[in-house]
Amino acid sequence: QQHFFVSCSLQDMIRSLDARGIPIEEFPDHWAVQLNDTHPSIAVAEMMRLLLDDKHLEWEAAWAITTACLSYTNHTLLPEALEKWGLDLFGSLLPRHL
């Protein structure tokens, strides 16, 4: 569920830039993405996947955009509240991200 919402949101942001003729390198000038707690943290890997696979950027350029536009806030330190996915499950569902 989190991957779906994260991916749709990021793709919509990219689509809006494309529609306005704005280069992907300017993404951080137009969008700030706040990851509110651990649930949407898959956005980091998804942003990299979109930039590498869909926009065909090199790793360094994709990472620069990703780190410039994504921010993370953690509201709880309780272990039971932190998102945890088993490696086998994660790999079977999102192998490119892993």
Q: For residue range 48-93, what is the model confidence (pLDDT) as tens digits? A: 999 999 999 999 999 999 999 999 887 777 776 666 777 888 788 8
Position 98 in a domain: no
Under the banding of pLDDT at 50, 70 and 90, the label for residue 13 is very high
Q: Are the beta carbons of 43 and 81 closer than 8 angstroms? A: no
Place of tokens 């932190």: 82
The number of folded domains in the chain is: 1
Domain that holds residue 29: 2-93
In a domain, 42, yes or no: yes
H/E segment holding residue 48: helix 43-49
36 or 18, which is more confident: 18
> pTM of this prediction?
0.82
| Rounded CA separation 73/65 (Å) | 19
Is 63 within the bounds of a domain?
yes
Q: Encode pLDDT of 19-55 as tens digits.
A: 999 999 999 999 999 988 777 888 999 999 999 999 9
